[in-house]
Amino acid sequence: MMLVVYLSVLLMPSAIVGTESGRGPFKTDVWNKEDQPLWEQLSTLQKEMNSLSREQVILKQKQKAIDRMLIIDENVTSLTESGRHQLLSPPHLWLNGKDKDDEGHDLPKYDPCYHSTPLDQAWRTTNYTTKDVKCDRQVEWQGWYRLYYRGKSIQMPERCIRKKHCGTHAPLWLTKPHPNISEGIVTRNVCGNWRKNCCYFKSTPIQVKACPGNYYVYKLVKPTKCHLAYCADVNTLVCGGCDRQQNCMSRDRVNYSCAPKKRKIIEQVIHFFASHPGNLTGKVAQIKFSRVLVNEGAGFNDQTGVFHPPVSGIYQFYFSSQYRGGDSNVTNLELVINGTTVAVSRSDVKTPASIGALSTFMTTLCKNSNVSVTQVTGQSWANSVSNTITFGGSLLMQYNEKEVKLLGCLT
């Protein structure tokens, strides 16, 4: 009687269980065998218990996989503005570099972009000098590292660094540029500057990988000698803040800052040079310089002697003449822009001799302005080959749209 009661207690909790496929509960076969001998019921019960045991193993494996996905290593996170961590990598990359899990199953290979050790040491920066020199040969390097400076991502220099910087005697730098993401993991040679030789120390090559998010990771190794140390180029941090209108500049190649981009002197080529092939007497309202030798940009009109700037910008003009002297023979030439005299060339020679003169003028002009030369009074001498009565000019700097508006030009 007691055995029957014991079996009833034993069997009742097993009345409803989950299927191995997870499709829902079902009733055990024990309930369908109540009219069978006890030993057959015990055999059926043993089979059911074995099935449940296998189910528990599977559930345990799934739970461990979920637990791994929920582990957040501080090495694969970055701080947001609110100070809370934000995930940077998919779960299958958080497996700490193991080849197999606790059950012996193969794990996917990890990406060093999401499994690196932060290296935030201010003394490594290119603008840091100290008498307390460091030596990276004394460091037990393990795996991949990401360089930081005060919590901000930074990278190794791609240029020769002055000796006794980066907190060491011979700073280590990369001899070739960093890779792009599509190149994957690459090997780069490392050099240390010493005795006026940027590559006096040829250290052991390292591996480098470009990562999403505009940063790099490095598989650092022990340098060949002391005192050598890996550099962190502080200019990459500064230059990352420069906008499109700025360049990252440095006078000493150690301390960098953002500076406005230098303008090109000439963006569009505009030059002209023309001469008048004969004498001029008295007032000539607009000299027609019909002999055109240069007209780059097609701004000069040889029919009218007028120059029309093809673009807005800064121009320089010059005009010349060979003046004939006399008792009352004062000769004046004027440069006229948009109807206003802006420059004058005057000759007052009392003797019958002649004298040559050249005048220049620089100004800002809007597109399609009118520029010409006039003789107010006097006499100017020239012939078909002399080129003594001349007019010319050049564009020095073209204005952009913003500068054109500030100048008040009509586009």
Q: Count of domains in the chain?
A: 2
* Nearest residue to 190 via CA among 212, 215, 166: 166
CATH of the domain at 328: 2.60.120.40
How does the average pLDDT of the chain come out, rounded? 79
Taking the CA atoms of 225, 230, 233 and 234 in sequence, report the sign of the dihedral they define: negative
Separation of alpha carbons 139 and 161, rounded Å: 21
Q: What percent of the chain has pLDDT over 90?
A: 44
Q: Which of 49-58, 325-334, 340-349, 355-364 has the highest mean pLDDT?
A: 355-364
Q: What is the pLDDT of residues 261-273, one digit of tens each?
A: 776 555 789 999 9
pLDDT surpasses 90 at 357: no
Last residue of a domain, one of 191, 226, 260: 260
Q: What is the pLDDT of residues 284-306, one digit of tens each?
A: 999 999 999 999 999 999 999 99
389 lies in which domain range? 271-407
* Nearest residue to 317 via CA among 394, 254, 245, 244: 394
* Residues 298, 338 share a domain: yes
Q: Which of 54-63, 157-166, 326-335 has the highest mean pLDDT?
A: 157-166
Separation of alpha carbons 247 and 255, rounded Å: 14
Q: Is residue 104 one of the residues assigned to a domain?
A: no
Per-residue pLDDT at 409: 86
Per-residue pLDDT at 390: 95
Which residue do the tokens 């023979």 mark? 329
Last residue of a domain, one of 239, 260, 281: 260
Q: Which of 19-28, 146-155, 287-296 has the highest mean pLDDT?
A: 287-296
**Average pLDDT of span 6-19:** 42
**Assessment of whether the complete model's pTM goes beyond 0.85:** no
